[in-house]
Amino acid sequence: MRMLANYRFQLFVALGGSTAVALVVLILARPAQAHASVRFQEAARCDVRFEPSLVDAKYLFSDDYGWFDASHFRAGDPKQLIRSVELAAGKAGRFIVVDQELHNGLTSYEAYYWVSGNFEPERATNVALGIYLDWTRRFETWQGKPPRVLLAPLTSFAIEDLPSHYVGFVAAARELSPLQVLFCYLGGVDAIDEEPPHFVLTNEHDIASLKRLENRLFTPVIKTEKGWRRVPWPEEMKLDVVGPGPHTWRFVGEQTLYLQIDG
């Protein structure tokens, strides 16, 4: 029925249609209107006012969910990615690019994906999430390679990075701000000046040593009396992920760009 609705809408636009056809189109298009209504209700439910210190803070902290880095909420522009995948749904397929600049435009990372379009429009957000999770892992891996790692040796897969990316995607998918997500679903955060920890003291075979603290998953980690513990997202923040495949999407390639200064 949804595929038929899309087809009749395209036919009505092309041929001019009649009033009767227009009414049919409006009825068949109701699922999309219902989806927009859900987003509106979600925005109304999560309408929260914030202190200016939270809006401008780089690091945010929750006792229950740990650290978040505000500079990662819009990395790769998840809102634009969702739009690009929505445009591909039901079409013959298209190539899209997901990119991110670093160090004030000195360098940037680009990854290219092919989206098949052979899926229902209602699944576009889930397809986009699959691409975004893949891109995030590649981006963090890229950050940890020379020469970029020389400028920021502790940034790749920091404990706050991937959870911050996920919060940013949920915000884009629900048409909320990242702070709305943090307050509406996670109970709120505080602005914090100190950076998240980068190392953990281990004691293996009675030998004490410092080990780099990393997080390669999209769920948060918090420090407890028994050590670092992974925390699952609340149910209302969990989204289905559509992985790569011949009828969904695939990774095509990547490249690094550097700022060129004409001398």
Higher-pLDDT residue of 201 and 173 is: 173
d(CA 180, CA 197): 25
Helix (H, G, I), strand (E, B) or coil at 81: helix
Per-residue pLDDT of 206-227, as tens digits, reads 676 788 899 999 999 999 998 8
Encoding tokens for residue 33?
């209107």
In this predicted structure, the answer to whether residue 189 has a pLDDT above a threshold of 80 is yes
Q: 117 with 94: CB under 8 angstroms?
A: yes
d(CA 115, CA 135): 14
d(CA 62, CA 157): 19
Higher-pLDDT residue of 29 and 177 is: 177
Per-residue pLDDT of 59-113, as tens digits, reads 999 999 999 999 999 999 999 999 999 999 888 889 999 999 987 778 899 999 9
d(CA 73, CA 176): 12
Which residues, at least 6 apart from 59, have a Cβ–Cβ distance to it below 8 Å? 67, 68, 69, 70, 160, 191, 192, 193, 194, 195, 196
Q: What is the mean pLDDT of residues 28-52?
A: 59
Higher-pLDDT residue of 185 and 26 is: 185
Q: What is the mean pLDDT of residues 191-206?
A: 84
